[in-house]
Amino acid sequence: MMKRYVIIVAGGKGLRMGGSLPKQFIPLAGKPVLMHTLEKFYSFSNDINIILVLPHDHQEFWKKLCDEHSFSVPHCIADGGETRFHSVRNGLSLVDTDDSVVAVHDGVRPFVSYDVIGRCFDMAAGGKAVVPVVDVVETLRKVGQDGLSVTVPRSSYRLVQTPQVFPASMLRKAYSCEYRTDFTDDASVVEAMGRKIDLAEGNRENIKITTPFDMIVAKAML
């Protein structure tokens, strides 16, 4: 089996939570959200190499939290960058071989399923650039510059999740480019160098915890 890495990006300031504590550190069932996320990947497979990307000024606080909670999931830490793009690039510097597959995952998505993790890794091991998605269930309207809106077919759209998984050599080559403001996720970076993106079935519970309402949903799911 190819060596597997996951770069867990946790650079958010948590402004939409309305408090001073970054969202990845907010307690959920007695421990920070971020710990739940790392535990999910480690419990999926203790052979996965976990790289946690944190802003430098959050790292001492994280170490303190790990001590307080006796958190023992093995991981290494990379410095967060100016943007998500730069953070992922910093995390990639700790991937020590191109003969591997690399997942990139949001630190505030602790509810990704084992099925989704396994499916994405397996597809990427076959040389694919893989993004988990779920169907859009609400009606969508597109708003134009004139302020007018029109209904668009929701069957043509998908909601994108993480982990997004790639062969290491592909991801490293993609991230050797210059940063662009339209790089909203890892797939957009890989796509910019002309690679096709393959979609994998995600799980609807895999929410990104960014608002107080999301925390209510997260507590209910736990």
List pLDDT tens digits, range 38-88: 999 999 999 999 999 999 999 999 999 999 999 999 999 999 999 999 999
Contact present, 102 and 3 (Cβ < 8 Å): no
Contact present, 173 and 148 (Cβ < 8 Å): no
Burial class (CB in 10 A: 0-12, 13-18, 19+), 214: middle
What domains appear along the chain, each with residue ranges and CATH number? 3-221 (3.90.550.10)
Give residue 148's pLDDT.
Answer: 95
Stated pTM of the model: 0.94
Question: Looking up tokens 């830490």, which residue turns up?
Answer: 77
CA 212 – CA 21 distance, rounded (Å)? 12
